[in-house]
């Protein structure tokens, strides 16, 4: 998470409210899902630059909202759980080799 955005997240929450931001996160994730489905249907070889750019835009929107959700629900706790999950994946990958 970009620590420099914490003040912005705090302002969003105080201005718009927690429920509003949670709904916005859901909406942004939905938009990314829709664009990824388009990519999947078209196939990587047939994907336009425009669609790839739109996917990048939606990824950025989702990342911003996920950071805001982390701010709401607990930065340290999410970081802790995320590390555990990455460690578990790394362990599984080593076992595969």
Total of domains in the chain: 1
Range of the domain at 21: 3-96
DSSP code per residue over 10-63: HHHHHHH-HHHHHHHHHHHHHHHHHHHHHHHHH-GGG--HHHHHHHHHHHHHHH
pLDDT tens digits, one per residue of 50-71 = 999 999 999 999 999 999 999 9
The model carries a pTM of: 0.86
Residue 1 pLDDT exceeds 90: no
- With cut-offs at 50, 70 and 90, classify the pLDDT of residue 46: confident
Measure the CA–CA gap between 57 and 55, rounded to whole angstroms. Answer: 5
């Amino acid at each position: 998470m970009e620590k420099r955005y914490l003040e912005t997240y705090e302002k969003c929450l105080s201005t718009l409210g927690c429920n509003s931001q949670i709904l916005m996160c859901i909406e942004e994730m939905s938009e990314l899902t829709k664009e990824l489905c388009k990519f999947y249907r078209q196939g990587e070889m047939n994907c336009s630059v425009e669609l790839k750019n739109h996917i990048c835009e939606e990824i950025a929107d989702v990342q911003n909202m996920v950071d805001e959700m982390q701010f709401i629900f607990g930065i340290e706790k999410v970081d802790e759980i995320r590390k555990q999950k990455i460690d578990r994946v790394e362990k599984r990958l080593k076992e595969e080799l």
